[in-house]
Structures are given as C-alpha cells and as structure tokens.
C-alpha cells in the first residue's frame, strides 16, 4: 500500500507539472492533499498538516533564499561579475580559457541563483567568443557545468539549502564535503569534456552580447571575491572551529549565531549592501530597487520549496515515512545510492532539479535516520541525482539551446551529456567520501 501511494503521488505530480502544465506549488499542495486521503489521515488534520509543512519549511529557509537572491542581483548590477570574469581570463590566458571560465562559473555560481547566473554570464561568454574566435560550446561548457553543480550541490542555493533543512543536515559540513566533490565533477564535465565539443557549430545570437561596463565603474577584484565567498568562508570556518580548538563556554553562543544560515545570509546581505552597493556609489533607493526586482524572480522557487514541505509533512504525520524507512532498510541498496536513483528518476520524468531533489527528500528522509546515514552526504547524493540527464522537459535545456542557437541533437550531445557527467561523478564522489569518513 505504501509503495502504491508513493507511486501514485509521484505519477500525479509528474502529470500535473509536465503534461497539464500546473504551477508546481499548486501541484504539490494538490498531491499532498490526495496523498493524505489515500493514507487514511483524518480529514480534520489534513489542512493543519499541510499548513505546518509549508510554515516549517519556509520558516527555516526564507531568509537564506531571499538574502541570497538579493546578494546575487546586486552583485551582478554592480559589475562584480564582470570584474571577476575579466581577472580570471587575464590570469589564465587564451590557452587555458576553459579553466578560467570554470573558475569564474564556480565562484559566481555561489552567490548567483542558476537562472540569474545563466542570463548574466552566458552573454559574457559570447563576448569572449567573439574576441578569441573559439567554438562557443567549447568555451561556455565549463562555466555552465560550474553553475549547474553549484545550483544542485551547494547551499545556500535554494534546493540544497532546502535539502539540508529537510534531512536535518549541517549546512557548513555539507559545504565542506560538497566543495571537493563539486570541483571534481566540474573539472571532468568542464575543461576535460569540453574539447570533445569543439566540432559542434554554434552561432550565438548577437542579441545576447552584453553591454560591458567601463573599468572605472567596476568594484575591486578583492572586494568582489570577498563578497561572493563570504557566506561559504564563514560557514566552513564555524564548522571547522570546534574540531580545531576547544571553544570557551562564553563564546559558543557567538559561534552558533554566526553559523546559523539565516542570520549569516542576512549579515552577508548587509555587507554586500555596503561593499558593492553604497561603496560603489549606489544610493539606498537604487539598492532597494535592485532587491525588490530580485525577490520577484525568486517567488516561484519559494513556492516550490513550500509545496514540497507540505507533501513531506503529510508523509511524516500520516506515519508513512516511518513505515517506508523500515521497508527500505530491507533493500540491499546503499541509502546514498537509493537517494541518488530516486532523484535521478524524478528528474528525468519531470525536468526540474529542484522538484526532483525536494520530492526525494520527503521520501528518503526517514531512511537517513533509520540507517544512520550521514545526512550531509545524503544532501549531496540527492543533489547530484537531481541534475541527471536534463532533456526536453527541462527549462534549462531550452535556455541553453536557444542562447547557443543549437539543434536538439547537439543540445543533447553537449548539455544533456554535461548534466549526466556531473550527476554520475557527484555520486561517485559521495560514495568515496562516505567510505573515507565512515
């Protein structure tokens, strides 16, 4: 009965979003309601279970997601993205241009949400292509691989941050484990895979060539890097600190305060407001206008996260999660591999990496507790699975195809293969790290 309800719930979710083109938030709430009735939950408790799921999920994530969106938008508008990319290109030179763009994509992929990063950085790739006369797909793929991995693997991006919350992981440790795995995946799917794409002919549309800011309009490289990487540096530092020294009792509260993702992202937002905003001559009114625009862009993501929380809580309060965990324990499949497989299957069926990751978390969560699986590694495993084989039902597939002006065949040979590589390498990295740590 449990597997039947899960299968029906996922099937309905896929049909609503992929076939009937429902808004994902509406689809999640509708499926949560149907699942509650199928699981025999008393009708009087269904509404409160859904409300609690939405509230608990948003309560733990809203500041992280929105602060990150505002930082990313200001970062782009200030010219910090252009500064970092230009310095990287000058440092690596034309010979190692794919490595330069890989590093640029990874650094900027941390503060920029994927769609925002794509729209802002791909035109920069095109401006470079026109200068160096190299194939656009070959030049751009390392940057896209880096953006995709940061989006799928690493908090404070919405999906990984939500996975951290749902699986009760630690955001700092997830980052600490995730960065080396992410870097290996990016190197393989970026600079190492890119030479195989040199034969793909692409004529990027001139419309997407960006307006380049003048040198004097750009913030310094040091300030741009500090602003981009500050959340990551603080999270990793506060995670490592207790392992290095014995923290005095009167200082533990401060460590907890700065390691809390919500407060950290808010403090980083205040720093960015000064570092690449006020410090660069923007007025408070202009900065707040940029922030308002960024929040509009993130609304659909917040709603998807909220809807996934409702479905997860219905599974939990109905008792299904605990029963499912006991059932899955009997399978002779490693929990980390199972999490990756679930996310990969949902990703291929539905297209959305965010929906795939969050749907999987609601199902696999109890198994993490029941088997003692490292929740930080499960976040990374599910995140890797959620990137598997992007194809025609994924908006990212079509953005890439249209921007690079490619055929569907060439899009599959380049984009879909890149996404598959980062997903599989991510899984291998997670399993290896699990062997080392446990």
pLDDT average per 10 residues of sequence, the chain (438 residues): 80 86 90 92 94 88 84 85 83 90 89 74 77 88 95 85 91 94 97 96 66 82 90 84 84 87 90 95 95 82 84 82 65 89 85 84 86 95 95 81 87 96 98 94
**10 Å Cβ neighbour count for 296?**
9
Closest of 338, 358, 373 to residue 53, by C-alpha: 358
Q: Is 132 exposed, middle or buried (0-12, 13-18, 19+ CB in 10 A)?
A: exposed
Decide: 221 and 84 in contact? Cβ < 8 Å: yes
pTM value? 0.78
Contacts of 336 (CB under 8 A, 6+ apart): 373, 377, 378, 381, 427, 430, 431, 434
pLDDT score at 174: 95
Which token pair is 90? 């000058």
Closest of 71, 90, 94 to residue 82, by C-alpha: 90
Q: Give dist(CA 9, CA 118) in Å, integer.
A: 32
pLDDT score at 184: 97
pLDDT score at 205: 59
Decide: 380 and 181 in contact? Cβ < 8 Å: yes
pLDDT score at 355: 82
H/E element holding 173?
A: helix 171-187
Q: Give dist(CA 311, CA 365) in Å, integer.
A: 12
Domain residue limits at 276: 2-437
Q: Give dist(CA 313, CA 50) in Å, integer.
A: 7
Q: Give dist(CA 85, CA 103) in Å, integer.
A: 9
User: How many domains are there within the chain?
Assistant: 1
**Residue 101: C-alpha distances to residues 85, 93, 96, 271 (Å):** 7, 11, 9, 26
**Residue 73: C-alpha distances to residues 116, 192, 237, 282 (Å):** 8, 31, 25, 13
Q: Is 438 exposed, middle or buried (0-12, 13-18, 19+ CB in 10 A)?
A: exposed
Using DSSP, how many helices (H) and how many strands (E) does the chain show? 20, 0
Q: Give dist(CA 348, CA 37) in Å, integer.
A: 28
């Amino acid at each position: 009965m449990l597997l039947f309800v899960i299968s029906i719930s996922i099937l309905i979710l896929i049909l609503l979003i992929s076939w009937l083109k429902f808004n994902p938030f509406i689809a999640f709430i509708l499926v949560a309601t149907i699942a509650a009735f199928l699981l025999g939950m008393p009708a009087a408790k269904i509404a409160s279970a859904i409300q609690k799921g939405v509230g608990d999920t948003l309560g733990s994530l809203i500041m992280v997601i929105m602060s990150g969106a505002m930082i990313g938008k200001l970062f782009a508008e200030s010219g910090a993205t252009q500064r970092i990319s230009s310095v990287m290109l000058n440092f690596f030179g034309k010979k190692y241009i794919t490595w330069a763009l890989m590093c640029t994509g990874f650094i900027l992929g941390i503060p920029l949400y994927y769609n925002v990063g794509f729209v802002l950085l791909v035109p920069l790739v095109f401006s470079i292509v026109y200068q160096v006369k190299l194939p656009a797909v070959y030049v751009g793929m390392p940057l896209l691989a880096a953006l995709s991995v940061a989006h799928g693997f690493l908090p404070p991006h919405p999906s990984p941050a939500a996975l951290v919350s749902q699986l009760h992981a630690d955001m700092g440790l997830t980052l600490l484990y995730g960065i080396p795995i992410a870097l290996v995946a990016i190197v393989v799917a970026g600079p190492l895979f890119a030479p195989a794409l040199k034969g793909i002919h692409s004529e990027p549309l001139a419309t997407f060539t960006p307006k380049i800011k003048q040198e004097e309009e750009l913030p310094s490289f040091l300030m741009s890097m500090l602003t981009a990487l500050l959340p990551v540096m603080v999270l990793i530092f506060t995670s490592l600190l207790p392992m290095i020294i014995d923290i005095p009792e009167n200082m533990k509260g401060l460590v907890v305060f700065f390691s809390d993702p919500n407060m950290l992202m808010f403090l980083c937002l205040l720093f960015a407001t000064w570092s690449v905003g006020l410090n660069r001559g923007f007025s408070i009114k202009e900065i707040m206008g940029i922030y308002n625009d960024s929040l509009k862009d993130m609304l659909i993501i917040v709603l998807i996260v909220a809807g996934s929380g409702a479905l997860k809580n219905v599974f939990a309060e109905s008792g299904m999660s605990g029963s499912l965990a006991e059932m899955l324990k009997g399978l002779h499949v490693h929990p980390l591999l199972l999490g990756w497989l679930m996310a990969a299957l949902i990703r291929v069926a539905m297209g959305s990496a965010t929906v795939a990751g969050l749907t999987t978390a609601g199902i696999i969560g109890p198994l993490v507790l029941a088997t003692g699986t490292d929740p930080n590694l499960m976040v990374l495993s599910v995140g890797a699975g959620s990137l598997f084989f992007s194809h025609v039902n994924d908006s990212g597939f079509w953005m890439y195809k249209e921007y690079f002006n490619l055929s569907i065949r060439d899009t599959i040979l380049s984009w879909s293969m890149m996404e598959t590589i980062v997903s599989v390498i991510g899984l291998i990295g997670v399993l290896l790290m699990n062997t080392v740590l446990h």
